[in-house]
Structure 1
Amino acid sequence: MEFDSEKDSAIFEEIFKRRPEIDLAKFKTDLQKYYLPYVDRLVTLKKGRSDDRGIIVGVSAIQGAGKTTQGEILEKLLAHFGYGSVSLSIDDHYITHEELSQLRQKDPRYIRRGVTHDLKLAVGNLRALQNMSPGSLVLVAEYDKGAHAGDGDRFAWVVPPAGASLVMVREAGGMKLREVVYRDQRIPTPENMGAAIPLEEHLFPAEVEKILPDEGGEIRVFGRDDGNVCFVGRDKVVVLSSSLPRGWQLVWRKPDFIFYDGWMLGARKVEDGSVFDQSLPALETPEAKQFARDINEKLADYEELWSLVDFLNVLYVPHYEMAITWRDDAEKVLREKGEGMNPEQIKEFVYYFWRSVHPAIHIKSLAHDEGHTAQVAIIGDDHSIVEVLSPAQVREKYP
């Protein structure tokens, strides 16, 4: 596969504009040593398949390691070579807020989402995309992390692409999807799609709230060719380009590759329970160690989901404590606006996830796992891609 770094790099211009922090000189180097060989391996895998199923590419990385940016770059590259792809995250498969609240009543230790995924939904979404036939339509879950003061929720609604229309109905203080149609084809809505969008949280912009119907009434929503979304209600029209709640994604093109990323993606149950006796950040107390052991047992439930992954790429950060620094850098911008977490809150936030799936235990084990991991990209403290190794090489260099 040929790629002219000078001429063809124009495909990334949109990403560079959105992410000015990308060092263009470093990017050209990363393109040659990481992205192009990575894409070549994926395309070779695809060509070697005897069937037409989509290839599921798992990307496992701790928070802040750069998996989202990498995903955007890989999608552009694959499109350049004539391959379609779709991206989703394990975060989109968290249980609903109502289910999380019920879980907390049974076990108050779940102060955040952590390892609380709807595994049936996750497996169903990936299989539907993997086995999608040309001309079919698939709805894929997305999760709104900003809902309920940061607790998050999955909503029964779709952000409509061009050609799609929705009917939303007002019920019990919220707006919920009643019907979705794409180019005259009605799409069945999934079971347990999610909650109504709560109006009290003002997740819709004020101009939309003004045209919402009374209880039991409907509003129509359309996706336009220019990428905007049109709301029609009370004989008025509101057109928006952003500021909408996260909703289910409508996939109408069969993908060659399905990228599935996550902070704990691929993490497997560790059989040697003594590893939790180590003195590690976030595991300093007996209570923290016990929570880690309990979550470790839950990881056995994820085996069916992990088994769907055809190619697993681990973004391994040897100095995993950098996750706190990276998160703080991101929150500084929000703090300047009077929002965001302070350093102590950031530490507790990150530590909670480490108590669930610890980078020095589960993710390290994954980076060493020749049976399940295809390649490991070593990520430096400055987010740079230091080198790309096999699990055996990682085990030798980063024991």
Structure 2
Amino acid sequence: MQSRLALFDRSYSAIVELCTELKLPPAIDTLWNLWLPLAMQIAGWKPSNRALIQGFLGGQGTGKTTLTQMLTVILSQLGLRAVSWSIDDLYLPYVDRIALRTRDPRMVRRGPPGTHDVQLGIEILTQFQQGQFPIALPRFDKSAFGGEGDRTQPQMIDHADIVLFEGWFVGVRPIESEFRIAPIVTEDDRQFARDMNRQLRNYVPLWELLDRLIVLYVPDYQLSKQWRKQAEHQMVAQGKPGMSDAEIDQFVEYFWKALHPKLFITPMVEQSRDVDLVLEIGAEHTVTRIL
């Protein structure tokens, strides 16, 4: 308790400043009950002789990006340099994704298995583990090419104690399934699901480099549609372009057809398979339970 209280005192002003920057209300309860103990746990997981590779699995709206930002601030108060990195930063360059889409028109969106440079990810995480600094950390600009996105200048990292590696299917492994769950309804849908499941095999060597995996789990996966619609409605209200509800349904269901959360993520959580900690997320985007 004393160590957490001391860490609270050291972290408080920086966390309030970050909340202001992110236009979030000062989350004092969350700081005390979640972010501080989680940062202390992650610090305790760090090997003595190399960087910790900490994975975070969470879908859109689960708050994984905000969480890693808060943890970075708190870990710095523990004398640990943390680097936040996303699987999105491993997207194939624009020209390669256009070529992929030409070969396979089903790969119309970036995000599903097959749209990342997995070998590059393996090389980067290995460099962190072996302390091969400086590291040119790949970064991705989602606004490039009219929102299609492209690689941008890498970020040079001269030291890191902890890598916070997050993504919507980080740590997810291939499964055995008939893929008979909505919205996977047609034979074409099932073939797409089977192909994406097969693609996951290529990611397993990347997941093997994770020291720990924390899952931000939404028991009611349908909430992701609701959250996306809320976000798009806010954008439209501010005069910005946004998707219609029908377009959002199509967008979200595309990813459910690729890797359905009920098939891939729920069993991981229920069986504690390759998972070190589960943060259950409720309808208000807040952690309701820690498993």
Same topology, TM > 0.5: yes
* 2:34 corresponds to: 34
Of 245, 257, 266 in structure 1, the residue corresponding to residue 171 of structure 2 is 266
Residue matched to 1:304: 205
Residue 293 of structure 1 deviates from its aligned partner by: 1.4
Shift of 1:317: 0.4
2:276 pairs with 1:374: yes
Deviation for aligned residue 1:20: 3.0
Contact 2:51 2:161 in 1 (8 A): yes
Q: Please say if 1:107 is aligned against 2:10.
A: no
Q: Residue 354 of structure 1: CA displacement?
A: 1.4
CA positional deviation for 1:38: 1.7
Matches within 5 A, 1:73-222: 73-113=70-110, 114-115=112-113, 116-132=115-131, 136-155=133-152, 158=153
Question: Cα deviation per residue 1:306-347 (whole Å; 9 max; x = unaligned)?
Answer: 001011000000111111121222223332324122222222
Structure 2: distance between partners of 1:311 and 1:385: 19
Shift of 1:2: 3.2
In structure 2, the residue corresponding to 1:323 is in which secondary structure?
helix
1:82-130 deviation digits (Å, cap 9, x = unpaired): 1111011001101112111222222111111122111111111111223
Q: Which amino acid aligns with 1:299?
A: L
Q: Which amino acid aligns with 2:155?
A: Q
Secondary structure of the residue aligned to 2:45 is helix
Q: Distance in 2 between matches of 1:86 and 1:128?
A: 13
Which of 180, 191, 201 is equivalent to 1:277? Answer: 180
Q: Say if 2:17 is the partner of 1:14.
A: yes
Aligned to 1:352: 254
Q: CA 1:300/1:347 → structure 2, altered by over 3 Å: closer, same or farther?
A: same
State yes or no: 1:58 paired with 2:60. no
Q: Which runs of 5+ in 1 are unaligned?
A: 159-247, 390-399
TM-score, normalization by structure 2? 0.92
Say if 1:130 and 1:258, in contact at 8 Å, map to a contact too.
no
Alignment partner of 2:140: what SS?
coil
Give the distance between the partners of 1:99 and 1:53, measured in 2 at CA. Answer: 34
* Partner of residue 388, structure 1: 290
Question: In 1, Cα distance between the equivalents of 2:61 and 2:4?
Answer: 31
Match of 2:156 among 250, 254, 261: 250
Q: TM-score, normalised by structure 1?
A: 0.68
Greater share of helix: 2
The aligned amino acid for 1:118 is D
The CA deviation string for residues 55-104 of structure 1, in whole angstroms up to 9 with x for no partner, is 00100001111001101110111011111110110011011121112222
**Aligned CA distance change for structure 1 residues 100 and 307 (closer, same or farther; 3 Å):** same
Mapped to 2, the partners of 1:329 and 1:75 lie a distance apart of 28
Which of the pair has more CA radius of gyration?
1
Identity of aligned residues (%): 33
Q: 1:39 to 1:340 in 2, by over 3 A?
A: same
> Aligned equivalents of 2:134 and 2:224: distance in 1?
37
What amino acid is the match of 2:157?
V
Deviations 1:158-191 (A, max 9, x none): 3xxxxxxxxxxxxxxxxxxxxxxxxxxxxxxxxx
Q: Distance in 1 between matches of 2:56 and 2:240?
A: 33
Q: 1:109 aligns to what SS in structure 2?
A: coil
**Superposition deviation, residue 148 in structure 1:** 2.3
Distance 2:21 2:229 in 1: 20
Aligned counterpart, 1:3: 5
Contact 2:62 / 2:216 at 8 angstroms: preserved in 1?
Answer: yes
Q: Secondary structure at the match of 1:312?
A: strand
Matched-pair contact (CA < 8 Å) for 2:11–2:73: no
Q: Secondary structure at the match of 1:100?
A: helix
**Count of matched residue pairs:** 285
* Structural mapping, 1:278-293, within 5 Å: 278=181, 280=182, 282-293=183-194
Asked if the contact 1:266–1:366 (Cα under 8 Å) also holds between the matched residues in 2, the reply is: no
2:213 partner SS:
strand
> How far has the Cα of 1:365 moved from its partner?
2.3
The gaps in structure 2 that reach 5 residues or longer are none
The answer as to whether partners of 1:55 and 1:258 remain within 8 angstroms in 2 is yes
* CA–CA separation in structure 2 for the residues paired with 1:149 and 1:109: 20
Q: 2 CA distance for matches of 1:138 and 1:350?
A: 34
Provide closer, same or farther for how the CA distance between residues 296 and 8 of structure 1 changes in structure 2, counting only shifts above 3 A. Answer: closer
Structure 1 position 323 matched with structure 2 position 228: no
- Aligned-partner Cα distance in 2 for 1:126–1:291: 29
Could you tell me how far apart the structure 2 residues matched to 1:144 and 1:18 are? 20
